[in-house]
């Protein structure tokens, strides 16, 4: 169990660092509105970035070890497609919610 926690410590922290600027924007710019804070939005953004980093970790380890990425081309293709899908979802959510982050009233 300790090995699993140390293995995922960096992706968890990096994911949190990716989401914190949007949390701060939402908190500062929407303070005067009588709305609930969108915890689920930021939780989902954090989860998507965590999945992206966890999926990317084996690829980075393979490159750092000097092993060829093309040793398993089907797995590589699946990982790249999954990474592209996660990146697309994350970016589309951020672009969609950017007016809310910037304090535009009735942004949804």
- CA 43 to chain CA mean position, Å: 9
Q: Residue 108: CB partners within 8 Å, gap ≥ 6?
A: 100
User: Does residue 47 belong to any structural domain of this protein?
Assistant: yes
User: Does residue 85 belong to any structural domain of this protein?
Assistant: yes
Query: Total domain count for the chain?
Result: 1
Domain that holds residue 10: 2-101
* pTM attached to this predicted model: 0.86
User: Does residue 12 belong to any structural domain of this protein?
Assistant: yes
108 pLDDT tier (thresholds 50, 70, 90): low
Indicate if the pLDDT at residue 3 is higher than 80: no
Residues 36-52 have a mean pLDDT of 94
User: Does residue 107 belong to any structural domain of this protein?
Assistant: no
User: Does residue 56 belong to any structural domain of this protein?
Assistant: yes
Return d(Cα 9, Cα 15) in angstroms, integer. 10
User: Does residue 64 belong to any structural domain of this protein?
Assistant: yes
């Amino acid at each position: 169990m300790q090995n699993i926690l140390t293995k995922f410590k960096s992706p968890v922290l990096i994911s949190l660092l990716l989401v914190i600027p949007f949390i701060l924007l939402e908190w500062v710019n929407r303070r005067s509105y009588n709305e609930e804070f969108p915890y689920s939005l930021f939780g989902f953004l954090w989860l998507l970035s965590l999945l992206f980093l966890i999926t990317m970790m084996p690829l980075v380890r393979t490159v750092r070890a000097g092993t060829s990425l093309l040793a398993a081309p089907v797995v590589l293709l699946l990982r790249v497609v999954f990474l592209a899908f996660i990146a697309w979802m994350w970016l589309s959510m951020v672009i969609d919610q950017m007016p809310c982050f910037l304090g535009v009233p009735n942004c949804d």
